[in-house]
Structure 1
Amino acid sequence: MTDRNPGALLVIGSGLKLYREYIVRAVARRAREAGLRLVLINNLRPTWQREHFDDITVVDVFDHDRLRGTARELAGRFTITGLMCWDEPLVMPAAELAAEFGVPGLSIPGVQGCRDKHSSRTRLTAAGLPQPGFALTTGLDQARRAAARIGYPVVVKPRALGASMGVSLAAGERELAYAYRIAHEASLVGDAPYRGGAIIEGYADGPEISIDGAVHKGEYLPMFLARKTTGLPPFFEELGHVVDAADPLLRDPVLLKTLETAHRVLGIEDGITHTEVRLTADGPVIIEVNGRLGGDLIPYLGQVATGIEPGSVLFDIATGRRPDLTTTASAVAGIRFGYPGQDCTVRSIAVPAEAPGLILAAGMVEPGTVLRLPPGGYIARHSLVVCSAPDPSSCAQRLTDAAALVEVDADPVDPPPAGTPLTMPAGLLDVDA
């Protein structure tokens, strides 16, 4: 590498067009303004990405040795001034490469604390933050003993998966065996070091929220907060979110102190995180900290509601700048996902072109797609609608009305046999049509 090599910002995995193009568009604009090339390592051949990236290399990014080799080759052609990644399975190799190239990143300990839920619980508990009782178990008998000690109901989850995959609630010992099997089998599609077994933890009862925040040189900077709706019990499928720019929780000193402490304890240095929190009678309880942007178009909702542009914030953090998080809007924005009533094969989807407050409506799968509800599958969404409104209650009503206009033609299918390997759902991985 020489000083003549052009400066570049390296992106690992673009994600889906529907979920991430608005992020990429902002990053590309900032890179052009800074005179930097935008370089992508992607899993599949590019389509929409060509408009935004100056250089694209296609490689199996889930083969981490090949990913590292490709990144090093690119570092010989470009002067890497920053690196970013928002795909959950890739945040660890991204952190390793950021450290190797000497550019801002979450830090390797920080990503370990995010990815490994047992490590996260251990560190947060040691720091004195309110946390449920928990145990990492490697067999059902051990899980039973842990649940008896912690007290039912318990949440049973894989050690390192996202999007609530394999996570369910067990009200008693009868449900525990089922929940343990689901979590264990789901874990087998994750990273090799975290496969098998399950984490057993006490149920933190209360509304669930998420906070997307930037971290600059260890300083935690909250951006926006989403109120979450979940369903399909005993599972925790995320059915929708609402972001209010004026949400009073953004000024809650106890919540903010909890978030700051958690990020410091986990050793997160530079990046954007998505933290999930339960608001319990005993105060805010962190469920998990994810070392990436929020999914489910939550950052887009935040952009609509507050005017804060997540892609621009990402650029600042990746290039060592403290981002300006001044809000330029004060609105409410929400998203609602359409789920089938049972496992099915989708024939067609029609979404509304107009509805009060409607910003975006989209089908999420192609005809012929098989959608499977938990535990046979996760994120079995056929459509989404996004609406804005002046207040949360109006936004919720607009989302309900818009979702009712979605038309789905589908044929029911039988659930898969017990023990069928889980297929990672689209939206979690860097795949696109």
Structure 2
Amino acid sequence: MSTPRTALLVIGSGLKLYRDYLLSSAAARARKAGHELILINNLQPTWQHEYFAEITVINVFDHELLASTAREFAQRYRIVGVMCWDEPLVQPAAHLAAEFGVPGLSLPGVEGCRDKFSARTRLTAAGLLQPGFAFTADPAEAVAEATRIGYPVVVKPRALGASMGVVLARDEEELREAFRVADGASQIGDEPFRGGALVEEYATGPEISIDGAVHKGEYLPLFIARKTTGLPPYFEETGHVVDSADPLLEDQDLLNTLSRAHQVLGIESGITHSEVRLTERGPLIIEINGRVGGDLIPFLGRLATGIDSGEVLVDVSLGERPEFTRNRLGAVGIRFGYPDRDCLVRSVEVPTDTPGLVQASPMVEPGTTLRLPPGGYIARHSFVIVRGDDPEAVEQRLTEAAAAVVVIAEDVEPKDRNALLEMPAGVLDVDE
């Protein structure tokens, strides 16, 4: 009887624009270790073929079907690791890792990553700095809890990502509308987390994100991104800057808080993307996501520090402690282009030669309708990436590059406020 081939199972590839660089590194790392990559994907593959030995296409959001398909793979391959960087799929991926007996976030760990109420409860009980919070089932309960916590408050779905449905409310009138938006947005998420909304104390201070590796519970920070948000009272992420010399990489209060939080949530192995507010009281963890960062943050991190998240992810998925060197390569940033109002995009032209330009790309095809919150989220028509010696130089270059983007679009009527939220353009992978 022949020995089955060994493979790392990948759940969802993501968009080529966002994840090709990650898969390229991961595939090379896996093959160097003598393993194949195999993929369960939602749509028919195109660009993914060069990276995978085998690809099966199913409805990955049917978790029972996903599990049975993974078990069929396990009859033909010896599964040595499970990898996932798609937010809606990290929970079933963690369950499969546990079933196959390979390294993963752990079941308590992935619950802390996906369920914001569970994370808040556990981190607060452990004595970590957290905002006042409550999970509310209806507007009346939300009003009562917001009055107890004190305005302003942030209202959010229990388990969505990308700041979808997250709203700042400064009084009761805004609170009722914010609850409607958050509750409605939750309906596109996993069924156990649909309905209701978290009401939280609004924490002030700069917001950052940290991508870190976790090996058998040991937290290893990789790089830090300084975040820019816009479109208030919503929290759309409009840009990020990664600096290889960021002083926060040496901030022991921050690093100890992150390490302790991962231990409290029981996160065992993988890469996490933590979002933190730097408040006057100290670092306050907003959430910990059980995946690499979105918005091309790992790509920025590689350009700025030399750390390759694709390689690190393979290492921790195989149960190996990753070895990496953080080089001083300067600062790299990304800025996303948003329309001023809901529109139908006719064309997007991006710059090809501005100072420090690394990459610029349209993010939508002609004919795409972009809707701003609350009718839609992540309504991005383009991005630009630049590099520079320091964050100040990068911000200036981002402004110049973003100003060179030319968009031709037509206004469209606002969406009916009671219409069910649709997934934003560009979030799910599409056929090329």
Once the two structures are TM-superposed, the CA of residue 426 in structure 1 deviates from its matched residue by: 3.9
Taking the aligned partners of 1:373 and 1:10, their CA distance within structure 2 comes to 36
**What letter corresponds to residue 158 of structure 2 in structure 1?**
R
Tell me what 2:194 maps to.
195
Tell me what 1:351 maps to.
350
Q: Which stretches of structure 1, 4 residues or longer, exceed 2 Å deviation after superposition?
A: 426-433
How has the CA–CA distance of structure 1 residues 193 and 272 changed in structure 2, closer, same or farther, with 3 Å as cutoff?
same
**What letter corresponds to residue 143 of structure 1 in structure 2?**
A
* CA offset digits 1:111-133 (Å, max 9, x no partner): 10111000000001001111110
Once the two structures are TM-superposed, the CA of residue 432 in structure 1 deviates from its matched residue by: 4.6
- Structure 2 gap segments, 5+ residues each: none
Tell me what 1:145 maps to.
144
Tell me what 1:19 maps to.
18
Once the two structures are TM-superposed, the CA of residue 329 in structure 1 deviates from its matched residue by: 3.9
Tell me what 1:382 maps to.
381
Taking the aligned partners of 1:281 and 1:333, their CA distance within structure 2 comes to 27
Q: Contact between 1:210 and 1:227, CA under 8 Å: does it hold in 2?
A: yes
Tell me what 1:88 maps to.
87
Tell me what 2:393 maps to.
394
* CA offset digits 1:10-47 (Å, max 9, x no partner): 10100000100000000111122122111011111111
C-alpha RMSD over aligned residues: 0.9
* CA offset digits 1:394-427 (Å, max 9, x no partner): 0000000001111100000011011111011244
Tell me what 1:7 maps to.
6
Taking the aligned partners of 1:146 and 1:75, their CA distance within structure 2 comes to 48
Would you say 1:317 and 2:304 are equivalent positions?
Answer: no
Tell me what 1:210 maps to.
209
Tell me what 1:50 maps to.
49
Taking the TM superposition and a 5 Å limit, the aligned residue runs for 1:89-168 are 89-168=88-167
Tell me what 1:237 maps to.
236
Taking the aligned partners of 1:329 and 1:16, their CA distance within structure 2 comes to 29
Q: Contact between 2:42 and 2:59, CA under 8 Å: does it hold in 1?
A: yes
Taking the aligned partners of 2:91 and 2:252, their CA distance within structure 1 comes to 31
Once the two structures are TM-superposed, the CA of residue 330 in structure 1 deviates from its matched residue by: 2.4
Partner SS for 1:348: strand
Once the two structures are TM-superposed, the CA of residue 239 in structure 1 deviates from its matched residue by: 0.4
**What letter corresponds to residue 378 of structure 1 in structure 2?**
Y
**What letter corresponds to residue 379 of structure 1 in structure 2?**
I
Q: Contact between 1:87 and 1:428, CA under 8 Å: does it hold in 2?
A: no
Partner SS for 2:118: helix
Taking the aligned partners of 2:327 and 2:276, their CA distance within structure 1 comes to 26
Partner SS for 2:91: helix
Percent identity between matched residues is 66
**What letter corresponds to residue 152 of structure 2 in structure 1?**
P
Taking the aligned partners of 1:180 and 1:307, their CA distance within structure 2 comes to 42
Q: Contact between 1:87 and 1:429, CA under 8 Å: does it hold in 2?
A: no
Q: Contact between 1:15 and 1:432, CA under 8 Å: does it hold in 2?
A: no
Tell me what 2:27 maps to.
28
Would you say 1:226 and 2:225 are equivalent positions?
Answer: yes
Once the two structures are TM-superposed, the CA of residue 327 in structure 1 deviates from its matched residue by: 1.6
Taking the aligned partners of 2:431 and 2:384, their CA distance within structure 1 comes to 20
**What letter corresponds to residue 350 of structure 1 in structure 2?**
E
Q: Contact between 1:335 and 1:384, CA under 8 Å: does it hold in 2?
A: yes
Taking the aligned partners of 1:92 and 1:360, their CA distance within structure 2 comes to 32
**What letter corresponds to residue 61 of structure 1 in structure 2?**
V
Q: Contact between 1:156 and 1:198, CA under 8 Å: does it hold in 2?
A: yes
Tell me what 1:66 maps to.
65
Partner SS for 1:188: helix
Taking the aligned partners of 2:283 and 2:238, their CA distance within structure 1 comes to 22
Taking the aligned partners of 2:128 and 2:304, their CA distance within structure 1 comes to 30
Taking the aligned partners of 1:258 and 1:415, their CA distance within structure 2 comes to 43
What TM-score do you get using the length of structure 2 for normalisation?
Answer: 0.99
How has the CA–CA distance of structure 1 residues 329 and 427 changed in structure 2, closer, same or farther, with 3 Å as cutoff?
farther
Q: Contact between 2:370 and 2:425, CA under 8 Å: does it hold in 1?
A: no
Taking the aligned partners of 1:427 and 1:328, their CA distance within structure 2 comes to 32
How has the CA–CA distance of structure 1 residues 251 and 209 changed in structure 2, closer, same or farther, with 3 Å as cutoff?
same
**What letter corresponds to residue 232 of structure 1 in structure 2?**
L
Taking the aligned partners of 1:137 and 1:221, their CA distance within structure 2 comes to 35
Tell me what 1:176 maps to.
175
What TM-score do you get using the length of structure 1 for normalisation?
Answer: 0.99
* CA offset digits 1:318-369 (Å, max 9, x no partner): 1111011212342100000000000000000011111110001000000000
How has the CA–CA distance of structure 1 residues 288 and 160 changed in structure 2, closer, same or farther, with 3 Å as cutoff?
same
